[in-house]
Structure 1
């Protein structure tokens, strides 16, 4: 993943899906992949998310004690979840 912002965008998008669909094993596996990427490539030690219209605000603490703040429009992050809700037959959990 090239940038921290891209990695956080991908992580946050799938985190929103996981939060809404806790039994979705594919989403959980993908979230774990992105969490590992954030730790290994971007040295993220902790990450906190706050949703306040119209943004998700993300606070990041790196292992080098750097603090970064990012924000993403809610409509951009929630698009995957909204598509899954609109067409659930396309997003079945096959581990059931």
Structure 2
């Protein structure tokens, strides 16, 4: 079966990273509608395309930890904090993306 018009689905780890990265942006910029929409897009992809359940993320000084259930089993992925936060830093340093959302 060919999905997505012949395109291969995004790898699970890549989708988790993309969801996490844009979720960090949305958490920092809760009025940013684009960040919200993109977070929801990746969340839906994780659920619909990969069957992920119970998705959550935590962070410490070094990394973000994403915990999720897949096929009834708990899984964990770890991502370097600096790498995850790169998108937020890029957005914050670009004046055209720093408009007021209120």
What is the rounded CA distance, in whole Å, between the counterparts of 2:76 and 2:90 in structure 1? 28
Per the alignment, residue 96 of structure 2 pairs with: 90
What is the rounded CA distance, in whole Å, between the counterparts of 2:45 and 2:32 in structure 1? 20
Per the alignment, residue 68 of structure 2 pairs with: 60
Structure 1 unpaired stretches of 5+: none
- Give the TM-score, by structure 2 length: 0.83
- Give the TM-score, by structure 1 length: 0.88
Change (3 A) 1:71 1:58: same
Structure 2 unpaired stretches of 5+: 1-8
Which runs of at least 4 in structure 1 moved beyond 6 Å after TM superposition? none
Q: CA RMSD in A?
A: 1.7
Higher alpha-carbon Rg: 2
* Aligned pairs, number: 94
What is the rounded CA distance, in whole Å, between the counterparts of 1:68 and 1:4 in structure 2? 12
